Amino acid sequence: MVGMPDVQWVAVCDVVNRSRQAAKNLVDSKLGNQDCAMYSDLRELLAERTDLDAVLIATGDRWHALASVLAMRAGKDVYCEKPACLTMAESQMIVDTARRYGRVYQTGAQRLSEPHHVFAIEMARSGRLGPIHTAYADIRWRDGFRRDWLPAEPEPPREEVNWDVWLGPCPWRPYNSGYVNGGGWYHFYDFATDVAMWGAHTVAQALAGLDLTDVRTIELEFEKPDATMVTHLSNGVKLVLYRVAGSVWEQCEFWHGACGERFDGPEGWVAAADGYAQTDVSSPALLRDYRKVLADYVARTQRPLNHVQDFLDCVRSRRRPVANPDVMQVSMNICLAADICEQLRRSLTFDFRKAEFVGDAEANRLRSRAMRVPFTY
């Protein structure tokens, strides 16, 4: 964002001093001055900076939802990286806050705005493949997910790492540099999600090509941990949360590369993933109208094929971005339902309208996590 002509970047905030300084240096070097202010606590930034129109939230995942809610309550529009939340309760809080305060919110599912993904989505949505019977989303195998915590190390000075604020709403855990350095928090349940960590990228892509107007429930079939999960939408579409067996996700039968989605219909299939020059198709004939399909999308939606620009345009126009809170909530709730399904090791049915699991009190208790005071809503 810092290099975009319609953005004036005025402040950065991070609880880790070296990251805070690096962000300031990036902004200052781009803008050719030393004007970028630094903050170590986002609550101070939001209280003091009444000149801000919008914020980019790119914290660790544990802070995404709470930071978004606090920013919207402070009158800021929000672009928040994915996964947007750790729990279903957090997804609902984002939806409610954006609606109550009239804020523009875009989650960083940027492939909803990239041409080869948009083409695949539009081919499915427009009926060119016939009625879609199966959609696939890449949920990627992850290298370990732990429910323990690391041993205590001496805490650094607060000005170097404010550990209390770093933890935020998560359970108190002793400081360990392994969390802070190199994104080590990524592998711990206290600070992250499992299926949702990668599915936050791709489930929204798969859903965008489907007609969800009459979808009331999703049935999730548990087979074994860390495996592909087959789900069934109540409109008859099978949604496959695809996970390769191993860490090399390029070895995939449905796409090559990361963050893929695919749609299968009676007239053929389309698939896209990162690094594509063009969308994969079952027949070259499906690519004949590639430019027209994209042009029709832009004309119909009046959106650019640029996710950040879509957000900035919406900040001005006050329309809803392509990855708005409702899009975020449905896709994240599917991911989080899959997480809960794996945690309980049994099949589940989730009711979208009621935002609850059908007939499973234990699963419903896992829709939220306790939040540590004072880092609550």
Q: Measuring CA to CA, how many Å separate 225 from each of 101, 125, 213?
A: 40, 32, 31
pLDDT digit string (tens) for 198-252? 899 999 999 999 999 889 999 999 999 889 999 999 999 999 999 976 555 556 8
* pLDDT at residue 324 in the model: 98
Q: Which residues pair with 265 in a beta bridge?
A: 268
Q: Which of 100, 325, 117 is nearest to 202 (CA)?
A: 117
The 10 Å Cβ neighbour count of residue 111 is: 24
What's the confidence (pLDDT) of residue 188?
Answer: 96
Look at residue 226 in the predicted model and tell me its pLDDT. Answer: 86
Distance CA 66, CA 360 (A): 27
Retrieve residue 308's tokens.
Answer: 């950040």
- The verdict on pTM exceeding 0.85 is yes
pLDDT at 246: 59
What the chain holds in terms of domains, given with CATH numbers, is: 11-107 (3.40.50.720), 111-143+193-302+330-365 (3.30.360), 148-191 (no CATH)
Q: Express each pLDDT in 45-79 by its tens digit.
A: 999 999 999 999 999 999 999 999 999 999 999 99
β 77-80/54-57 pair status: parallel
| CA dist., res. 121 & res. 191, Å (int) | 32
Q: What is the CA radius of gyration of the chain?
A: 21
Give all strands (DSSP E) within the chain, no chain letters.
11-13, 37-39, 54-57, 77-80, 105-107, 134-138, 217-221, 229-233, 238-242, 261-265, 268-272, 280-281, 348-351, 356-357
- The answer to whether the CB of 197 falls within 8 A of the CB of 186 is yes
Strand order in the sheet with 217-221: 280-281, 268-272, 261-265, 134-138, 238-242, 229-233, 217-221, 348-351, 356-357
Distance CA 292, CA 298 (A): 10
Residues in the chain with pLDDT < 70? 245-251
pLDDT of amino acid 247: 55
Rounded CA-CA distance 244/250 in Å is 9
